[in-house]
Amino acid sequence: MHGLLRERLLSRRDHRLERGKPPQPLLFDDMMEPTNEGARPGSADRAPGGDPPGPQEGQAPTGAPLLELRNVDKNFGPVQALQGINLIIPEGQVTALAGDNGAGKSVLIKTVSGIWSPDGGAVFWRGQRVHIRTPKDAAALGITTVYQDLALCDNLDIVQNMFLGHEDLHLGMLNEIEMELTARRTLESLAMTTARQIRQPVASLSGGQRQSVAVAKAVMANSKLVILDEPTAALGVTQTAMVLSLVKQLTSQGVTVLMISHNLNDIFQVADHLAIVHLGHLVASGPASNFNRQTAVDYMTTGRSNRETAGSPALAAS
What does the alpha-carbon distance between residue 21 and residue 252 come to, in Å, rounded to a whole number? 12
CB of 254 to another protein, least distance (A): 15
Note the maximum CA span of the chain.
Answer: 66
**Cβ proximity of 276 and 296 under 8 Å:** yes
Of the chain, the end-to-end C-alpha distance in Å amounts to 60
Judged by beta carbon, residue 19 or residue 307, the one nearer another protein is 19
Rule CB under 8 A: choose which of 43, 128, 238, 294 binds another protein.
Answer: 238
Using the contact rule CB under 8 A, the part of the chain among 119-127, 149-157, 279-287, 298-306 near another protein is: 149-157
Tell me whether residue 11 or residue 306 sits nearer to another protein (CB atom): 11
* Residue closer to another protein (CB basis): 241 or 315: 241
Best CA proximity match to 148, nearest among 253, 304, 259: 259
Indicate whether 244 belongs to the interface with another protein (CB under 8 A).
Answer: yes
CB of 36 to another protein, least distance (A): 27
Beta-strand pair 128-130/120-125: antiparallel
257 binds another protein (CB under 8 A): no
Among 153, 301, 304, 312, binds another protein (CB under 8 A): 153
Interface residue with another protein among 44, 47, 140, 174 (CB under 8 A) is 174
Asked if residue 44 binds another protein (CB under 8 A), the reply is no
Rule CB under 8 A: is residue 253 a binding residue for another protein? Answer: no
The H or E element containing residue 267 is helix 264-270
Find all residues with CB under 8 Å of 101, minimum gap 6, and list them: none
- Name every residue whose Cβ is closer than 8 Å to that of residue 91 and which is 6 or more positions away in sequence: 39, 40, 61, 62, 63, 64, 65, 66, 126, 224, 256
169 binds another protein (CB under 8 A): yes
Instruction: Please give the Cα distance from 158 to 177 (Å, whole number).
Output: 13
Residue ranges binding another protein (CB under 8 A)? 1-2, 4-6, 9-10, 13, 16-17, 21-22, 135, 149-157, 160-161, 164-167, 169, 172-174, 177, 180-181, 191, 193-194, 196-197, 199-201, 203-209, 237-242, 244-245, 248-249, 252, 265, 269-270
